[in-house]
Amino acid sequence: MPHASPVAGLGPGLRQRFEADGFVLLPGVLDAAILERLRRAAECLDAAYRRRPGINRHAVLNRHDLIGSDDVFLDLVDWPATFPKVVELMGWNIQLFHTQLVVTPPTHPDAPRGGYAWHQDNNRMNRELGPPPHPMISVKIAYFLSDCPEPGMGNLCVHPGSQAAPSAPPGPGVEVCAAAGDALLFDRRLWHAASTNHSPVTRTVCFYGYSYRWLRPKSRFPVGVTTDPIRRQLLGWARSANGYFDPSPEEVPLRDWVAERLGPNAVHP
């Protein structure tokens, strides 16, 4: 948890890369212990999915609402190697608004290679904000639970620097290659896609999305799973509906956390 941990911010170099490319790869952010726990939890959810009628061996698991399904998913909410980077980008008035587990087994051999379903996150928000460029509003962390060291393994595909593009740029984009335990921090405006897995290895990744507190969440978050004040904020607790727009200090303890570790000048009004 980041409450007593050193602040592992992006720093100027990674911040500039994030702003230019829309993403940054963070190597080795998960230690062996939590990586093993996450793998076991993911395997349990995937096994339950594959017992459903009509699910074939090539089907992709796309599971939301991870918080509450296993204790390990709560540990990632404020993971100290990554969460302070989100705070650096977005400030203290934030929440966890989306969780997702994607398990991509080997694809049918006849499936085309490369990315499919290119998109920016948050769907109708992009249509209803008007013409781009749009504000960032949310970021995501993709935690890789399996090795995907080369293209063609169901990798996440991205178009670097496409945050302000009105549609997906032409071309296949770049397949993100990573090791188990790495993470990708990316801007939700970045055009990105899933890709087919033509390797013999099942690819597993967890996504955690953070947004400002006034955005409706995409996933369900049972606040009662924790009594920790910062985690309660991140899971969406507020004293009233207006607390998402005009929060009291009790509703946003992350503000004091930022002031204590980064100094009062880091706390925006």
Rounded-to-integer distance, Cα 26 and Cα 184, Å? 6
Beta strands in the chain (DSSP E): 23-26, 61-64, 94-104, 115-119, 138-144, 157-158, 174-175, 183-187, 192-195, 203-212
Position 201 scores a pLDDT of 96
Mean pLDDT of the residues in the chain: 93
Position 68 scores a pLDDT of 96
Highest mean pLDDT of the ranges 3-7, 109-113, 264-268: 109-113
| pLDDT, tens digit (0-9, with 9 covering 90-100), for 24-83 | 999 999 999 999 999 999 999 999 999 999 999 999 999 999 999 999 999 999 999 999
| pLDDT, tens digit (0-9, with 9 covering 90-100), for 168-222 | 999 999 999 999 999 999 999 999 999 999 999 999 999 999 999 999 999 999 9
pLDDT at 157 over 50: yes
Q: Which residues of 206-222 are buried (b: 16+ CB within 10 A; e: fewer)?
A: bbbbbbbbebebbbebe
**11-266: CATH class:** mainly beta
- With a pLDDT cut of 90, the percent of the chain lying above it is 88
Residue 4's pLDDT band (boundaries 50, 70, 90)? very low
Whether residue 96 contacts residue 228, with contact meaning beta carbons closer than 8 Å, is answered with no
pTM of the model: 0.95
**Domain residue extents for the chain:** 11-266
Which of the pair, 261 or 48, is modelled with greater confidence?
48
